[in-house]
Amino acid sequence: MSMTIPALRPSSLPRVDAQGLGALYDTHGRQLFRLAYRLLGTREDAEDVLHDVFVGLPEALAHYEERGRFDAWLRRVTVRVALMHQRTRKRRREARLDGAAAVPTSPGLTAEQIELQAAVNALPAELRSVLVLKEMEGYSHAEIATLLGISPVTARVRLFRAMRSLRQRLEDHQ
């Protein structure tokens, strides 16, 4: 079953019962999973985020006030949940002293793409978040600033650092 919800008003949203939730998942699941995967770098973490987003969605929709596109709102929610997940994961990894970057495992990747994905995954979380949101997801610096609770200038600086680090790492591996 496929369902498209372009800029629906809250009153026109489907009832979020089990069936409605499944419909929302079918419509937006892939896109949101890709977003979470890019932010977190592993399939497991991305699936955890997507699980939490859709499990929490019925209650969140009760308080949803439409200000723009529904899918944009859903993406913002996913980013926030992913960032929260990232912080929790960071604490866990620090405790385990396990800071190794995740190695991409997606089938069909070229050697160059594997290297690029590994380089992105190796970035510190605060840099990777800005890089993914700006360069891969198309958010503006102002939107990123709001999402991350930083200033737009800080977002620019982090993006600059991320790109510089990425280039250095890729050059080192050439």
Partner 1 sequence: MTSDLRMKLKELPAPEPSAELRDRIRASRVAGERVVFPADAKRSRVTIPRAAAAVIAFLALTSALYAWLAGRDRDVPSAASFFAGSLLWPTPALSQEVGADTVGRARYPLLDRVPARALPTGSWSYRATLTTDGLVTTEQGQRRFSIAQTTMHGVPAVAIVTNGTGRYAPEGFADSLVVSRDSLRLLRRSKRYGKYPGGGDFPATPPRYLSWRDADINWVGSVYRALFQLTPLTSSWRGSVYVPWIRYRDRVSALAIDLRVTGSERLTLPAGSYDTWVVSVRFRDREARVYVDKASGLVVKIAMPMGDDAVWEQVLTNAS
> Which residues contact partner 1 by CB under 8 A?
18, 21-22, 25-26, 29-30, 33-34, 37-38, 43, 46-47, 50-56, 58-60, 76-77, 80-81, 83-84, 105-109, 112-113, 116-117, 120, 131, 135-136, 146-147, 149, 153, 156-157, 160-161, 163, 166-167, 170
Residue 113 has a CB neighbour count (10 Å cut-off) of 12
Output phi, psi for 114, to 5 deg.
-60, -45
Q: Which two tokens stand for residue 44?
A: 């497991």
In this structure, is the dihedral angle defined by the CA atoms of residues 119, 90, 161 and 146, taken in order, positive or negative?
A: positive
Smallest distance, partner 1 to C-beta of residue 62, A? 12
- Contact by Cβ (8 Å): 21, 59: no
Smallest distance, partner 1 to C-beta of residue 126, A? 13
User: Between 97 and 110, whose beta carbon lies closer to partner 1?
Assistant: 110
